[in-house]
Amino acid sequence: MDGQLGVNGENFLVPCLLERFLEVGSATESEVPLQVCSVKAGGMMSLAIDNLGGLWMWGHCPLESSSNEGGMWNEHVVALVSAGETYKGEDLVCFSWGGNNHGQLGLGDKECRNHPEIVEAFNQDSSFAVYEVACGAFHTALLTHRKRPSETLESMCWTFGLGENGQLGHGTTQSVLSPEPVKELPQYIYLVSVDCGLFHTSVVSSAGDVWSWGMEKGLGLCPDASYAGRDTGDAVSPIQINGLNGPRFQDPVQVVCGAAHTVLVANDGYKLWSWGRGRSGVLGNGKMIDCYAPTVVSWPPLTEDFKQEELNTVDKEATATIDDGDKIGEKNSTGDAETEKRLSLAMRDMKLLQSKLSVMEKYAGILHGSIFGKPMEEQDIPVSLQNSGSYDIAREWENMLESADRAKLVRLEKFYRDMLAGVKDKLMKKRIQEMIKECLNSSTINRGKGDV
């Protein structure tokens, strides 16, 4: 059996708490009402995480057998679990269990697991912190960044499992049993989201660049002029997806993959793009055909058109019921048009402000995580800034140091030393470059004098 429920090979018709993680912080007996914080669904199973950190699972799992063949029960699960009772930023440990016929658990072998096991490449002592996971049919993708603060906010994508359609992005169709980085992605980028289809993988960076690899038709990577004479072909390395206005999508939020299609949330959630297989209308663009390049999803509905129709109806009724309706109707129509124009400009300004606030929030969150080792929360905002809108940095710094425990002070000291060492290195490099330039200029001048 494949054990994707993480229990003893049983089927569960109602949610069952996965007891394997009780020792690392989950609780069953608590006076706090349970609340679902996150939910996921596989092919024939479902998962939910509660507000106490408990992992609940229900669905179908085959009974134990002597054979791992058969394939239809090959679902697998990858979970990020806090090493302590509370989440402290970068203390997540990566567990996996279930089907493993192709190494999709990242445990270095092809043996299926009934119970969660730690993926050693991303254990508590790893230099990498995993912040997002995604599972395909027989492969897995992870996003990580280094735990140690660095000058660049870069991240890496790791994949493992079945690779015969290029879904691992390693430049080959070979399968791998342990996590390996996707080396052909550009360096010094920060990936905000990853997801897997059945046989393809997609990622999006904070700058709005989208890359996909794997089964071509599942990606919607239409052969362009350079693929003349070829109708199909798998992408074994990352290929950048271009939108209508160029290679980048504005303010990306998330990328998700269906079995053979991809959806991108962009413009801070105000716009959706989709591409790939279009059967059953899954692309949401009003058509049921395959699209090999991103198309805009018809969301939200065309409310502006509906508004205009309603305004026109009101205008007609008003002019019909008033004797001298021509003049009054024209006046109302002009006023409505002017109001609509102002509302449209106000909405555009609001979206622009929301976009800027979102960028600032992301930037502040990254800085806060690098310094304090945990995501920024509302209670982390200084009291003076919450109450008055002004910020006394000297006073808040003193207050923060006074209230900090030893662990926080040690981390601050380490961050300061690392930052200072980085600045000194940069200054030294710049000084060496200046000295070399001075020497080269001096030698050029002396050689010129010798030629006279």
Instruction: Provide the 10 A C-beta neighbour count for residue 48.
Output: 17
pTM beyond cutoff 0.85: no
Phi, then psi, of 433 in degrees rounded to 5:
-60, -40
Residue 333 confidence (pLDDT): 56
- State pLDDT tens for residues 161-183: 999 999 999 999 999 999 999 99
Residue 171 lies inside a defined structural domain of this protein: yes
First to last CA, the chain: 88
- State pLDDT tens for residues 317-371: 444 444 444 454 455 556 667 777 777 787 777 878 877 777 777 777 677 766 7
Percent of the chain with pLDDT over 90: 30
- Cα maximum dimension of the chain: 101
Query: Of 30-34, 69-73, 372-376, which gets the smallest average pLDDT?
Result: 69-73
Q: For tokens 């003049």, what's the residue?
A: 327
Q: What is the CATH number of the domain that holds 125?
A: 2.130.10.30
The domain containing residue 105 runs over which residues? 74-223+234-296
Residue 398 lies inside a defined structural domain of this protein: no
Contact 201, 165 (CB under 8 A): no
Contact 90, 131 (CB under 8 A): no
Q: Which of 102, 74, 77 is nearest to 21 (CA)?
A: 77
Residue 269 lies inside a defined structural domain of this protein: yes
Contacts of 122-126 with C-beta under 8 Å, sequence gap 24+, read 122/93, 122/94, 122/179, 123/93, 123/94, 124/83, 124/91, 124/93
Residue 243 confidence (pLDDT): 82
Residue 404 lies inside a defined structural domain of this protein: no
Domains identified in the chain, total number: 1
